[in-house]
Structure 1
Amino acid sequence: MGKNKRLKRIKANNKPPPTTKNYGKPTGVTKAVSKPAKKHIQTQHTEPTIPFEVHEKILLVGEGDLSFARSLVENHGCEDVIATVFESRDELKDKYPHVAENLAVLSPKDAEDEPGAENAKPGKRERIMRYNIDATKPGPIWKELTGKCHRVIFNFPHVGGKSKDVNRQVRYNQELIVKFFKLAQSALAPLGHQPKPSHNHPVSPSSIIITLFEGEPYTLWNIRDLGRHAGLQVERSFRFQAKAYPGYRHARTLGVVKGKDGEEGGWKGEERAARSYVFVRKGDTEKISIGENARRRWGDRDVSDGDGEEEGR
């Protein structure tokens, strides 16, 4: 009897613990991890900055195939444009065979009997074309335009491939810019001689605008320092957007480059990042009053492209 009681106690002690029902999640299913909410990325749309008004007198220096000048007239409605080129009329046609259509808009007489000229619609009045204009040398045009221009624009100045040595090439281009600055300043209209201001067209100091590609070797030119040494200062710089000038295409200094198949080739400058620098004479940066709301044109953030830089004063 005693033995049987001991066996019963041992069995009772060795019984497995009572099972409890699990009403939790089924096995094999992991806990759901909450994913962070996707951030809505808003793409900022930057409107191109246009550094001139249609009523201003604009001098274009060192034009190539004249597509930029034509866009100012046809698409922006600029009323007083003088376009100058370094080449003679015949040299220009040899470099850029398609130039006839642009000439027909800017200077119909220069495009007479030229193939392709019949496809272009002439401007409302004859535009002024000037040939054989060296941006570094004094000449009759600079005397004629002394104190008359509101914008002097030189897009992508370059001396061409004078040297394969980078340092020498940089110096050649710096010399070009410095000499140009000196002549261009003489053409700027004095402060207070800008066209009559209106609500839509506030006036600003007359300016020299230079556009360069971004990156080396152009950053080595130190364009801001060249301007300071010439008595100028950068009022503003902004990203140059070729799309703002319909019909414009970058013209290379050496002319149209064709491949072995005879088709036009080479890189397209209008697709390359570039920046424009607006230079004004030191002392011309004070605000110009327009009624009670005095403001500088470039200080108006409504015309900023969101990518601009303003020189500290």
Structure 2
Amino acid sequence: MQLKSNWRILTVGDGDLSFSYSIKKYLNPKLIVASIYDSEVELRAKYQNHALDKLRNTDTQVLTEFDATNSASWARLAGQTFDIVIFQFPLIPAFSSHEAFKQSALSINTLNRRLLRHFLNYSQSVALDATGPMLSVITSKDVKPYCEWNLEETLHQGLNIDYLGQTEFDISQFPEYKIRNVDRDKHVKDTRGISYFWSPKPLDCLTLAKPDYLKPSHCSMCRVGPFLTEQDRQAHLNSKKHKQMSKHEDAWQTFLKLPQ
């Protein structure tokens, strides 16, 4: 991930706050504000080791009970604006029961995309300074279910921003950072992390790449290809994997047509 010390940084949903603390300690940016979904009581009960007190000792502002899908949470920024807003390895919490899962009108795939779309929308419309780079960043994994959210193509559909590209996430740049499982005091098994960047502006201050699977010779939705013949393409379109991904995409397009 490419961060600059002269940037004002907001982190969203930073579990045990170890990512924010690493940024503060090793980059010491112009400004960093950290936020978590849990209350302070929940944070202290959930994580034996957390960075809340360390951050407070550096006079870093920490917002608890910050819901990325709720406009009232973003309003708590009280006019503060940033150059970059970062959401690390987002994933909706598990349902409290099987009954709660059955009552949901939306699939797990759509609910996760909804979370990320709200993040993109609110970070751009509320948190980012229009005179700066206006970067919204999501770091995610290259495994299921994360790779099934079509992050690069339709997450920002209808929003006035573009997907700029991506970089490998190198956790060694953040020595204090411990990636957590959602709702559990356990570290996540090391997997490949990718940071995806969006902005309404073309930027030359970052070195970003776009993967080959976004090319017309591939199926970007399934991240496969290239197809050497039309027969290969048709075989993929008829595959179980593509049909499942098409269901996810159809459900997402249906959601986007609902009043937001």
Is the shorter-chain TM-score for this pair beyond 0.5, marking a shared fold? yes
User: In structure 2, how many angstroms separate the alpha carbons of the residues matched to 1:72 and 1:177?
Assistant: 22
Q: Are 2:196 and 1:277 aligned? A: yes
Q: Distance in 2 between matches of 1:144 and 1:67?
A: 21
Larger Rg: 1
The verdict on how the C-alpha distance between 1:145 and 1:54 changes in structure 2, with shifts beyond 3 A counting, is farther
Alignment match, 1:297? 205
How many equivalent pairs are there?
Answer: 204
Whole-angstrom distance in 2 between the partners of 1:178 and 1:127? 27
Tell me how far apart the structure 2 counterparts of residues 76 and 298 of structure 1 sit (CA, whole Å).
17
| 1:141 positional shift | 4.0
Match of 1:159 in 2: 92
Amino acid at match of 1:82: V
2:142 maps to 214
The answer to whether the 8 Å contact 1:211/1:240 transfers is: yes
Give the alignment of 1:117-128 within 5 angstroms: 123=58, 126-128=59-61
CA distance in 1, matches of 2:116, 2:79: 19
Instruction: Output one character per residue of 1:259-308: Cα deviation in whole Å (capped at 9) or x when no partner.
Output: xxxxxxxx634x11111101002xx21x6xxxxxxxx1125xxxx6xxx3
More helix per residue: 1 or 2? 2
Shift of 1:105: 2.4
**Normalised TM-score (structure 2):** 0.71
Q: Which moved more, 1:140-149 or 1:217-226?
A: 140-149
User: In the alignment, is residue 233 of structure 1 matched against residue 162 of structure 2?
Assistant: yes
Q: Does 1:62 align with 2:1?
A: no
Structure 1 portions without partners, runs of 5+ = 1-49, 109-122, 195-204, 258-266, 288-295
Query: Structure 1-normalised TM-score?
Result: 0.60
Q: Is the 8 A contact 2:139 2:195 kept in 1?
A: yes
Query: Are the aligned partners of 2:12 and 2:87 in contact in 1 as well (CA < 8 Å)?
Result: yes
Counterpart of 1:183 in 2: which secondary structure?
A: helix
Equivalent position to 1:309, from 200, 210, 230? 210
Match of 1:79 among 30, 52, 65: 30
Determine the structure 1 residue equivalent to 2:122.
183
Q: List aligned pairs for 1:1-313, cutoff 5 A.
A: 50-99=1-50, 102-108=51-57, 123=58, 126-139=59-72, 141-142=74-75, 144=77, 146=79, 148-162=81-95, 163=101, 168-186=107-125, 187-190=127-130, 193-194=131-132, 205-224=133-152, 225-257=154-186, 268-269=188-189, 271-281=190-200, 284-285=201-202, 296-299=204-207, 308-309=209-210
**Structure 1 residue identity aligned to 2:117:** V
| CA distance in 1: counterparts of 2:144 and 2:49, whole angstroms | 30
Residue 237 of structure 1 aligns to which amino acid in structure 2?
Q
Q: Could you tell me which amino acid in structure 1 is paired with residue 85 of structure 2? A: V
The runs of 4+ residues in structure 1 deviating greater than 4 Å are: none
Shift of 1:220: 1.4
Q: What corresponds to 1:11 in structure 2? A: none
Give how far 1:227 is off: 1.8
* Per-residue CA distance 1:233-272 (angstroms, 9 max, x = gap): 1112011111111111101211214xxxxxxxxx634x11
Give 1:106 deviation, angstroms: 1.0
Alpha-carbon distance in structure 2 between the residues aligned to 1:57 and 1:92: 25
**Aligned counterparts of 1:75 and 1:83: Cα–Cα separation in 2:** 15
Aligned partner of 1:181: which letter? L
Shift of 1:232: 2.0
Conservation of the 8 A alpha-carbon contact between 1:61 and 1:154: yes
Aligned residue for 2:237?
Answer: none
Aligned mates of 1:74, 1:238 — CA distance in 2: 22
State the secondary structure of the residue aligned to 1:153: strand
SS of 2:9's partner is strand
CA RMSD of aligned residues (A): 2.4
TM-aligned CA distance change 1:156 to 1:274, over 3 Å: same
Tell me the equivalent position of 2:234.
Answer: none
The share of aligned pairs that are identical, in percent, is 23
User: For residues 138 and 199 of structure 2, what CA distance do their matches in structure 1 show?
Assistant: 12
How far apart are the structure 2 equivalents of 1:144 and 1:219?
31
Q: Is the 8 A contact 1:178 1:230 kept in 2?
A: no
